[in-house]
A and B are shown apart, each in its own frame.
Chain A
Amino acid sequence: MLKAAVPRCPPLLQRRWQTHHSHQPFPPDIHQWSHPPSKATVSDDEISRLAAKPRRPLTLADLVKHGKPPLRDADLLSSANFTVSLLPARLAHRIQALRNLPFIVVANPNVSTIYNNYLHSLSTLEPFYKKPIETIEEEMKFTEAMADLVRTHSNTIPTMAKGFLQCRKYIDPAEVTKFLDQHLRARIGTRLVAEQHLALHMASTGEAAKQKPDPNHVGVIDLGLRPADVIRQCEGFVGEVCELKYGVRPSLVIDGDTDAEFAHIPMHLEYIITELLKNAFRATIESGNEREPIEVTIASAPDVSTTKLQALRKLSVSEENAYDFSQDGLEEYCSSSDADIGPLNSAAPCITLRIRDRGGGIPPEALANIWSYSFTTFNNEQAAAAGGDNGTDAGLNTIASSGSDQSSIAGLGYGLPLSRAYAEYFGGGIALQSMYGWGTDVYLTLQGIGKMEEAKRAPSGYEILQGEMAKKE
């Protein structure tokens, strides 16, 4: 029997291979791959050269140092050049990190989409980092490239999650968590500098420049952000979804320093607060305690003077942060003229929010996993449900699509780890304390920018220009 079987096999195999060969060249042409390894025009040498450059640290103060919009042309150009000084090294570094993942992961269509997006974005930046941006026409082109970058990467998180979900058999969950953590944190920085330049450009040109500027906004940063207002706004949103899904909405009281304000990015704060309130509201309702209000306490610390070096040192100590910038060369950077951003680097106010619910706490067995992207620990059923386009666990999860990303990461368990990544990006943090059988306390700390009073009173670029014109006349 065995003998009979053996001779039949080779011709069959051969025939199949031959037919295959007759229709398609081998290896196939690179553009006919379902997901080509690379179609971008950036050379490997260029990527390694850029990735080896030190990644310069980014602080909130860096983002407001170009002045208040509407900006004069010179300031707008310096903002563009500042942006272009940060981006290529960061993109190249991400490309290298992706390249170091196992082949089977990057070959996945979803992950390879992300990889190609990065290559594409780096290639669009090439004309700008080769020589400084000197004219307003070049700045316009650069702004277009920024808009393209923000658009291209807007759907990264769900695509990436889907890719890793499909590859979960071949890669260790701890490794996935580590990679995603670094990637998502690096992405916060990349998007932020791009969005900041876009926002500054928009506010300084066209119709917007002719209107009376908002004294508190510098691009994406609000110099007088009031946590109490953000909490109320997010409460309204989360409460509505609760009413829709459960028919009840728990109440929320705010105490402590309710008038506190500081300089931060409203987009980030809204994302974090929405995630945290969502957890608190859901736990409170599901444990049948909706009559117990959720308590939010706002604390604002007196300004502590600190130097930029100290602040950055603190930021770059943990391993999660090492992707974004490193201790190497920090001191040289801080003593260089680049780092000098005037009075803004001398003090760091600190806001702490405590969100206290009576939702029964977190079971001890779940506590270990709260900071990992929970799809990494899904079982097969959950993975199938989340992998499809419509997650079965809709309801409150749909809220996850709000915030800075107009994309759906519903049911993928991104809420807490991503919130913490946002908080930690500028030196804050989130801590959580569960009392199982009673409730949960969450502590959110955020650091703003010092000496905001001066910055708020400072004239905008347009006003300076007017002043200069008046002098000439």
Chain B
Amino acid sequence: MLRVAPLSRPRAFCVARCVVSQNRRWASSRGGRNPPPWRPASTLDDWVDRPIRPISLRQLFFFGRTLTEGRLLSSANYVRMELPTSRLAHRLREMQRLPYVVVTNPHLSLVYELYYKSFETFRRVPVIRTLEENDEFCKLISDNLKEHLAVIPNLVMGVLECQDLVSPDTMDQFVQAMLRARISRRVIAEQHLALTDTFDSPWHVPQISSENEFVGEVLLRCNAKEIIERCGRFTQDICKSSAGVDPIVPEIRIQGHVNATFPYVLSHLEYIVGELLRNSVQAVMDKYKDTKIPPPPIDVLICEAPQHVVIRISDQGGGIPRDIMSYLWSFCKGPRRATRLQNFKDVPTLAATMQEMRDSSLSTLASRPPGLRLGMGLPMSRVYAEYWAGGLELHTLEGYGVDAFLQISKLGNQNEQLTSRASIDGV
């Protein structure tokens, strides 16, 4: 059924290594304006034609609950087939359709090359039949994940630089599709790595795990209140550390259905909640920094409905000015483009230093200093929220504060939304 690559195993890895060495050579010249090389389009055509098989959170955790060797290997083969198709090939094809002048932008051509390299690597991996082969495959995945840490900053910088070359809406749709595909790749790749870890751990017994636990990356019972408290403390600490002498950080109050739980990918939720709280805390601190009155608290409400959990974050940080409002969800529009572009230049180094601590690009972004405004927290949080069929809305009371509404689909039976909002490439 599966098309087995006509290459013996050692050769496959040899090819992969060749690509790596080629790339290293290319990487050394990445400061220059060299356009990405031409490659025959037919290989990509084959993969673009294959259907995507979207997954739901529920599938992710039911699959991982009773972990056996057979299941682990079929998970490996799912990742092996799924990564090159929709999730890489479609993105590559979409980039190829962008104007030449855009793809030759140094930042975007770096992204393009990284993608092409991954595509070439993964499409050549033959069927995984044994645990040893799986271990090698996992090594390949985690190297790849590390290498792609710089993609987001480069992508957004490239897009900001190319703003005048393509219509901003096209650019926004492009970035959203790229990010969605990136999330999806990381979800299935990290899930497989986590499953392998679980399987390899000495205390693993193949039985149904207890309820209050992770299955791979998915936390079965995310407790909204705990996550908000944890992200809140983290945000308060970060904002405190850079706000001069003895700043007063606003309190975060939580009310509503505080016992609500739902399955979710923890790092996604932490990222979204973290960004929203960060916006609120910073706005309140900015507004009250020169006054002696204590800043008003940030009110968080958790509302649990039969199918959704809604988290509402209300601050009194002065609201969003009208001229920014219409650019709020865009990656590349708006009057603050130049400062954002400058701020982005500092992110890649951040990504490099933080990556030793934890291999997640999200934690790098979450712990950036508060002065560094990238202007992509909201659009990116929305991409993450919509990915698992949720939503993110914002209402401003100009002159008073902002209410942010994060809606989460509670049952985990919604498929990942690979093509929501902008139907990108007709997959």
- Chain A interface (Cβ within 8 Å of chain B)? 256-257, 297-302, 304, 350, 352, 354, 361, 364, 431, 433, 435-438, 441, 443
Q: List 29 A-B contacts (CB under 8 A).
A: A256-B397, A256-B400, A257-B399, A257-B400, A297-B397, A299-B319, A299-B401, A300-B399, A301-B321, A304-B322, A304-B323, A350-B322, A350-B399, A352-B319, A352-B399, A361-B303, A364-B305, A431-B395, A433-B403, A433-B405, A435-B301, A435-B303, A435-B305, A435-B310, A436-B310, A437-B303, A438-B256, A438-B310, A443-B397
Contact mask for chain B residues 128-156; partner A; CB cutoff 8 A; 1 contact, 0 none: 00000000000000000000000000000
Q: Which of B257, B308, B400, B405 makes the CB contact (< 8 A) with A299? A: B400
Question: Which residues of A have CB within 8 Å of B397?
Answer: 256, 297, 299, 352, 354, 443
Does B104 sit within 8 A of A, measured CB to CB? no
Contact mask for chain B residues 304-326; partner A; CB cutoff 8 A; 1 contact, 0 none: 11111010100000010111000
Given known pairs A352-B399, A352-B400, A364-B307, the reply for A435 and B312 (CB within 8 Å) is yes
Q: Which of B305, B395, B398, B403 makes the CB contact (< 8 A) with A301? A: B398
Does B396 sit within 8 A of A, measured CB to CB? yes
A354, B395: Cα distance in complex, Å: 10
A301, B319: Cα distance in complex, Å: 9
A118, B110: Cα distance in complex, Å: 65
Q: Which of A304, A352, A436 makes the CB contact (< 8 A) with B396? A: A352
Quick check: B323 and A436 within 8 Å, CB to CB? Answer: no
Does B393 sit within 8 A of A, measured CB to CB? yes
* Shortest CB distance A303–B (Å): 10
Question: Which residues of A have CB within 8 Å of B257?
Answer: 437-438
Quick check: A438 and B303 within 8 Å, CB to CB? Answer: yes
Residue of B nearest to A304 (CB): B322
Quick check: B305 and A437 within 8 Å, CB to CB? Answer: yes
* Shortest CB distance A171–B (Å): 31
A352, B320: Cα distance in complex, Å: 12
B residues 354-403 with Cβ under 8 Å of A? 393, 395-401, 403
Quick check: A441 and B395 within 8 Å, CB to CB? Answer: yes
Question: Which residues of A have CB within 8 Å of B405?
Answer: 433, 435
* Shortest CB distance B413–A (Å): 16
Quick check: A304 and B321 within 8 Å, CB to CB? Answer: yes
Quick check: B308 and A436 within 8 Å, CB to CB? Answer: yes
Residue among A256, A299, A361 having the largest count of chain B Cβ atoms under 10 Å: A299
Residue among B321, B393, B397, B403 having the largest count of chain A Cβ atoms under 10 Å: B397
* Shortest CB distance A254–B (Å): 13
Q: Which of A300, A304, A354, A361 makes the CB contact (< 8 A) with B403? A: A354
Contact mask for chain B residues 282-313; partner A; CB cutoff 8 A; 1 contact, 0 none: 00000000000000000001011111101010
Question: Which residues of A have CB within 8 Å of B312?
Answer: 433, 435, 441
Q: Which of B304, B322, B395, B398 makes the CB contact (< 8 A) with A437? A: B304
A299, B399: Cα distance in complex, Å: 6
Residue among B312, B396, B399, B401 having the largest count of chain A Cβ atoms under 10 Å: B399
Question: Which residues of B have CB within 8 Å of A354?
Answer: 395, 397, 403
Question: Which residues of B have CB within 8 Å of A441?
Answer: 312, 395, 403
* Shortest CB distance B273–A (Å): 17
Question: Which residues of B have CB within 8 Å of A256?
Answer: 397, 400
Quick check: B305 and A433 within 8 Å, CB to CB? Answer: no
Number of interface residues of B (CB under 8 A): 25
Residue of A nearest to B395 (CB): A443
A301, B396: Cα distance in complex, Å: 10
A361, B303: Cα distance in complex, Å: 10
A298, B303: Cα distance in complex, Å: 24
Residue among A350, A431, A435 having the largest count of chain B Cβ atoms under 10 Å: A435
Residue of A nearest to B304 (CB): A437
* Shortest CB distance A326–B (Å): 21
Query: Which 10 residue pairs spanning A and B have beta carbons closest together?
Result: A299-B400, A301-B398, A299-B397, A435-B303, A438-B303, A436-B305, A301-B399, A352-B397, A299-B399, A437-B305
Question: Which residues of B have CB within 8 Å of A302?
Answer: 399
* Shortest CB distance A204–B (Å): 36
Identify 11 new A-B residue pairs, CB closer than 8 A, beyond the known A297-B397, A304-B321, A433-B393.
Answer: A299-B399, A299-B401, A301-B399, A352-B397, A352-B399, A354-B395, A361-B305, A433-B405, A435-B301, A436-B310, A437-B306
* Shortest CB distance B303–A (Å): 4
Residue of B nearest to A256 (CB): B400
A352, B396: Cα distance in complex, Å: 8
* Shortest CB distance B374–A (Å): 25
Quick check: B398 and A352 within 8 Å, CB to CB? Answer: yes
A350, B396: Cα distance in complex, Å: 12
Question: Which residues of A have CB within 8 Å of B403?
Answer: 354, 433, 441, 443
Quick check: B398 and A438 within 8 Å, CB to CB? Answer: no
Residue of B nearest to A442 (CB): B395
Residue of A nearest to B312 (CB): A435
Residue among B307, B395, B396 having the largest count of chain A Cβ atoms under 10 Å: B395
A256, B305: Cα distance in complex, Å: 29
* Shortest CB distance A90–B (Å): 29
A435, B319: Cα distance in complex, Å: 21
Question: Which residues of A have CB within 8 Å of B310?
Answer: 435-436, 438
Quick check: A433 and B323 within 8 Å, CB to CB? Answer: no
A256, B314: Cα distance in complex, Å: 13
Question: Which residues of A have CB within 8 Å of B398?
Answer: 299, 301, 350, 352
A188, B306: Cα distance in complex, Å: 40
* Shortest CB distance A14–B (Å): 63
* Shortest CB distance A353–B (Å): 8
Question: Which residues of B have CB within 8 Å of A437?
Answer: 257, 303-306
A156, B393: Cα distance in complex, Å: 37
Residue of A nearest to B320 (CB): A301
Question: Which residues of B have CB within 8 Å of A300?
Answer: 399
Question: Which residues of B have CB within 8 Å of A301?
Answer: 319, 321-322, 398-399
Question: Which residues of B have CB within 8 Å of A364?
Answer: 305, 307-308
Residue of B nearest to A260 (CB): B399
* Shortest CB distance B219–A (Å): 23
Residue among A298, A361, A436 having the largest count of chain B Cβ atoms under 10 Å: A436
A418, B306: Cα distance in complex, Å: 31
Question: Which residues of A have CB within 8 Å of B306?
Answer: 436-437
A437, B257: Cα distance in complex, Å: 9
Residue of A nearest to B393 (CB): A433
A299, B337: Cα distance in complex, Å: 28
Quick check: A433 and B400 within 8 Å, CB to CB? Answer: no
Question: Which residues of B have CB within 8 Å of A298?
Answer: 400
